């Protein structure tokens, strides 16, 4: 459907960021050379090389863990909570001051629309640091014992879908509780973590409290396997999460895992339908669907399915895909060629298994990695696109007749991270919320995040909670 509006380009300026040609590792408060083979990070929207990034090998990881241990023993574990809080508040304020820079850099390196990095990612990052700064001197009131103690050195490995936000979810509670950290960002999105390292310098954070080691899977493996770490926090795929759980079994390391999902977004026949359509769009097309809690399975009550699908397609046709730095862009680039390949392959399995594909008719840019907003109807529970995480802008639509059937279908998944319920009836919301096996259940909304609210999964979506008072537990003895 042609857009009723013509939009003039509205690009955010790149001039606010100063990308260096190459970056080292951030160890003990300084940028140092890595000893692995360096690699390039690109903009997935244009395939332009942004910078050369150092790769940390085992010796570099060891140096980072040692720096974190020394900083823990000599400085950070000795500071009273109110002093740690000052650093966290300072970091939070610098993030706000440099928010435009962080947002532009995130959109360049990750491919997500500036609208999202500017209005969602970066504000929640700052909020996370403010929130946990507030806990640092009140830990004995958090409900985790009268004299809660830090664990020591935390090894943190994060994915590429929310690079800076996942960093904040990991680093803010760890530091508030008195731990020091070594964090590995994903290979395709290291730049905002490296800018965060500069922010730590600017905040005068004592050297070694935060260390950033860039690299690929091997660096992550060396980090979580290092005997000097007390705690492992991982967000990423279920396959790697399982490998990490196996590798730390039998050690004294504490572990939290935040893995994949295949969330049901359930729409009942009495739901405010246009509002539900917005929630479905937000649920699966936010961040190109690269969201572990994405509402990737739409369960719609049969009596309204036809009407709802028609409205959904009309709404999807208004989504604007293109330059992530354009302020009118709704859908940016797929994060990597590898991820694009996975999305294509699973979508082709959907075709082969007999589901019906519908996609927004739009021109895809010739450079970069792109996939149009897509939905599949005629999906059965046995189809792979109903069971496996696609991690892209692809919605699988199923129908149901009764609440019991909706519940059974929603829970029929190895995952259990999130779910959504759309209905006017409060009693039905409560019934569904208490019976859905999911860590987060949204009612008449979707993909809402707040630092005060715990987030985490059941079953193959992992264990442990991040955010809120509950998130402190993962970093305390």
Site residues, Mg ion (CB under 5 A): 41, 109, 188
Contacts with ligand NAP in 332-371 (CB under 6 A)?
Answer: 342
- CB-count exposure of residue 273 (10 Å: 0-12, 13-18, 19+): middle
Choose which of 67, 120, 154, 157 interacts with ligand NAP (CB under 6 A): 157
Instruction: From the list ligand NAP, Mg ion, none, pick the one residue 414 interacts with, judged by a Cβ distance below 5 to 8 Å according to partner type.
Output: none
Total residues contacting ligand NAP (rule CB under 6 A)? 26
> Any bridge partners for residue 400, and if so which?
301
The span from the CA of 11 to the CA of 323, in Å, is 8
Instruction: Find out whether 472 and 173 touch, Cβ atoms under 8 Å.
Output: yes
Min separation Cβ 458 and ligand NAP, Å: 14
Instruction: Answer yes or no: 424 catalytic.
Output: no
Residue positions counted in the chain: 477
User: Cα(175)–Cα(209) distance, rounded to whole angstroms?
Assistant: 8
Is 200 assigned a catalytic role?
no
Q: Which residue, among 190, 208, 192, 214, has the nearest Cα to 152 in the 3D structure?
A: 208
Q: Which stretch binds ligand NAP (CB under 6 A): 184-192, 318-326, 375-383, 440-448?
A: 184-192
Largest CA distance in the chain: 65
Please state the φ and ψ torsions of residue 382, each to the nearest 5 degrees. Answer: -80, -20
Question: Does residue number 416 form part of the binding site for ligand NAP (CB under 6 A)?
Answer: no
* Residue 161 within binding range of ligand NAP, rule CB under 6 A: yes
Q: Which is nearer to Mg ion, 160 or 455 (CB)?
A: 160
Of 63, 127, 34, 89, nearest to 205 by C-alpha is 89
The pairing of beta strand 297-301 with beta strand 264-267: parallel
Nearer to Mg ion, 291 or 375 (CB): 291
Closest distance of CB 345 from Mg ion, Å? 22
Among 87, 130, 132, 160, binds ligand NAP (CB under 6 A): 160
Catalytic residue among 177, 292, 460, 473: 292
Identify what 221 binds: ligand NAP, Mg ion, none; CB under 5 to 8 Å per kind.
ligand NAP
**378 contributes a contact to ligand NAP by CB under 6 A:** no
E strand spans, 65-161:
153-157
Task: Give the whole-angstrom CA distance, residue 105 versus residue 14.
Answer: 8
Task: Write out the binding residues for ligand NAP, residues 228-287 only, by CB under 6 A.
Answer: 235-237, 240, 243-244, 258-260
**Which listed option, ligand NAP, Mg ion, none, makes contact with residue 109 (CB within 5 to 8 Å by class)?**
Mg ion
CB contact at 8 A, 210 and 171: yes
Find the binder of ligand NAP among 19, 75, 79, 216 (CB under 6 A): 216
With CB under 5 to 8 Å by kind, the binding choice for 273 among ligand NAP, Mg ion, none is none
DSSP β-bridge partners for residue 331? 321
Judged by CB, which is closer to Mg ion: 192, or 461? 192
Q: Work out how close the CB of 221 gets to ligand NAP at its nearest, in angstroms, rounded to a whole number.
A: 4
Q: Which is nearer to ligand NAP, 89 or 449 (CB)?
A: 449
Q: Which residue is nearest to ligand NAP (CB)?
A: 220
Name beta bridge partners: 266. Answer: 299, 421
Pick the closest to residue 229 from 311, 291, 309, 174 (CA basis): 174
55 three-class SS: coil
| The one catalytic residue among 258, 389, 460, 466 | 258
Residue positions annotated with a catalytic role: 258, 292
């Amino acid at each position: 459907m042609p857009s009723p509006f013509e939009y003039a380009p509205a690009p955010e300026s790149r001039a606010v960021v100063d990308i260096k040609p190459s970056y080292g590792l951030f160890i003990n408060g300084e940028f140092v050379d890595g000893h692995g083979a360096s690699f390039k990070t690109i903009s997935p929207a244009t395939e332009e090389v942004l910078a050369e990034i150092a790769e940390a090998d085992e010796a570099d990881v060891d140096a980072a863990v040692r720096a974190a241990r020394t900083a823990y023993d000599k400085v950070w574990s000795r500071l009273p909570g109110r002093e740690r809080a000052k650093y966290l508040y300072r970091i939070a304020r610098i993030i706000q001051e440099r928010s435009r820079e962080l947002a532009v850099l995130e959109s360049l390196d990750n491919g997500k629309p500036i609208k999202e990095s500017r209005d969602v990612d970066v504000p929640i990052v700052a909020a996370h640091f403010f929130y946990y700064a507030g806990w640092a001197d009140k830990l004995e009131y958090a409900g985790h014992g009268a004299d809660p103690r830090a664990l020591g050195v935390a090894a943190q490995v994060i994915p590429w879908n929310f690079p800076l936000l996942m960093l904040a979810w990991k680093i803010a509670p760890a530091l508030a509780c008195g731990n020091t950290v070594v964090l590995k960002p994903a290979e395709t999105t290291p730049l905002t973590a490296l800018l965060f390292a500069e922010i730590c310098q600017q905040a005068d954070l004592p050297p070694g409290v935060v260390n950033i080691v860039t690299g690929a899977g091997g660096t992550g493996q060396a980090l979580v396997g290092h005997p000097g770490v007390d705690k492992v926090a991982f967000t990423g795929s279920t396959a790697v999460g399982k490998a990490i759980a196996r590798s730390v079994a039998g050690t004294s390391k504490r572990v939290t895992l935040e893995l994949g999902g295949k969330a049901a977004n359930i729409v009942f026949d009495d739901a405010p339908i246009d509002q539900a359509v917005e929630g479905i769009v937000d649920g699966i097309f936010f961040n190109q669907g690269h969201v572990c809690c994405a509402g990737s399975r739409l369960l719609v009550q049969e009596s309204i399915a036809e009407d709802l699908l028609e409205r959904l397609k009309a709404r999807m046709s208004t989504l604007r895909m293109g330059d992530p730095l354009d302020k009118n862009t709704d859908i940016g680039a797929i994060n990597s060629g590898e991820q694009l390949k996975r999305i294509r392959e699973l979508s082709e399995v959907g075709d082969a298994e007999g589901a019906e594909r519908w996609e927004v008719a739009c021109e895809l840019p010739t450079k970069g990695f792109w996939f149009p907003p897509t939905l599949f109807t005629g999906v059965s529970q046995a189809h792979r696109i109903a069971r496996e995480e696609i991690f892209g802008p692809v919605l699988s639509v199923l129908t149901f007749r009764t609440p019991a059937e909706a519940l059974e279908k929603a829970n029929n998944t190895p995952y259990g991270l999130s779910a959504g319920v759309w209905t006017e009836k409060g009693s039905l919301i409560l019934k569904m919320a208490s019976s859905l096996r999911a860590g987060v259940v949204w009612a008449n909304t979707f993909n809402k995040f707040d630092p005060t609210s715990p987030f985490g999964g059941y079953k193959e979506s992992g264990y442990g909670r991040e955010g809120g008072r509950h998130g402190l537990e993962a970093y305390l003895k």
